[in-house]
Amino acid sequence: MNANSRLTALTRIGFATRGLLYLVIAFLILRTGRAEDPSGAIEYLGRGGGQILLGIIAVGLVAYGVWRLADAALDIERHGTDRKGVMERVGAGVSGAVHLFLAWQAVAVMRGAALSGDGTREGARTALQLPGGWALVLVGAVVLAALGAVQLVKATKGSFLRYLDASVARQRWVQWSGRAGYAARGLVFLVSGYLLARAGIEEQAGEAGGMARVLSWLTNPFDLIVGAGLLAFGLFSLVEARYRRLHDVPVDAAIRRATSWH
């Protein structure tokens, strides 16, 4: 198995890992009312599953992050060069960076570190300490709102199905789990963008927050509805782990070019 194939196989583990994290988040909000984000899910799994599970999670997240960044840089999923394609690639880049950060957090938990703080809130706090930082926070809010809108468009159009094997994409439960999942993620991004905008306008970093903050901010039954949508997204991610059509990242070609320079 060459490097391209190995990365593709590990990326499938990454999709499964993403699905597992969302299933944990949904379980906690639906069964216990506890609001968590992917970082909190990693800590929860670390306490229950131990070092081996955390190691698998870290490897899967690294592979998924690299694959997403490669998609952003090389357009391996063939999004195109129009505005929609560019937005897809920007989203892939953001997703890749986020999942590499989550992989680092999984390694940190393996080493006994406790994860603390909300990344969105901490980022807002850092930005607000800079001159004109409120404007940076508002830019971040616009980006989150745009990402949320993209997720909702995917939910409406079902464009995510084109990446699956055709026989699976025709299954109604697959279609609706994907639609519900992307809709829930879109709402999370939109609310997070709203909270971040409020933090920038009021110059109060405590107003900002990521998924955990959004889930705790939503009142019943909206938190449970979004939790159910995140459960659906976790299930859809497991479907993607098995049935998504993945284009190889040209790792071997990159290695050959790098070694030929010496």
pLDDT tens figures, 113-123: 777 666 777 77
Instruction: Work out the pLDDT band at 258, boundaries 50, 70, 90.
Output: very low
- Provide the pLDDT for residue 177: 96
The pair of structure tokens assigned to 100 is: 């590499």
Q: What is the pLDDT of residues 26-44, one digit of tens each?
A: 999 998 888 888 888 888 8
Distance between CA atoms of residues 87 and 238, nearest Å:
25
Q: What is the pLDDT of residues 209-220, one digit of tens each?
A: 788 889 989 988
Q: Sign of dihedral through CA atoms 134, 123, 41, 13?
A: positive
209 burial (CB, 10 Å; 0-12 / 13-18 / 19+) is: buried
Q: Is residue 161 part of a domain?
A: yes
Q: Is residue 253 part of a domain?
A: no
Distance between CA atoms of residues 242 and 245, nearest Å:
9
SS (HEC) of 46-115? HHHHHHHHHHHHHHHHHHHHHHHHHHHHHCCCCCCCCHHHHHHHHHHHHHHHHHHHHHHHHHHHHCCCCC
Q: Is residue 259 part of a domain?
A: no
Distance between CA atoms of residues 192 and 215, nearest Å:
10
Q: Is residue 135 part of a domain?
A: yes
Q: What is the pLDDT of residues 73-101, one digit of tens each?
A: 887 877 777 777 888 888 889 889 989 99
Q: Per-residue pLDDT for 49 more than 50? A: yes
Provide, rounded to the nearest whole percent, the portion of the chain with pLDDT above 90.
38
38 burial (CB, 10 Å; 0-12 / 13-18 / 19+) is: buried
Q: Is residue 254 part of a domain?
A: no
CB 97 within 8 A of CB 37: no
Domain extent, residue 53, equals 3-246
Query: How many structural domains compose the chain?
Result: 1
Q: What is the pLDDT of residues 126-173, one digit of tens each?
A: 887 888 778 888 888 898 898 899 899 999 999 999 999 999 999 999
CA 191 to chain centre: 16
The pair of structure tokens assigned to 211 is: 């998924």
Q: Is residue 240 part of a domain?
A: yes
Helix (H, G, I), strand (E, B) or coil at 158: coil
Q: Cα dist. 31→16, 40, 217 in Å?
A: 22, 16, 17
CB 67 within 8 A of CB 247: no
Q: Is residue 256 part of a domain?
A: no
User: Taking Cα atoms as reference points, which of 226, 196, 232 lies closest to residue 35?
Assistant: 226
131 burial (CB, 10 Å; 0-12 / 13-18 / 19+) is: exposed
Beta bridge partners of 244: 164
Q: Per-residue pLDDT for 255 more than 90? A: no
Q: Is residue 202 part of a domain?
A: yes
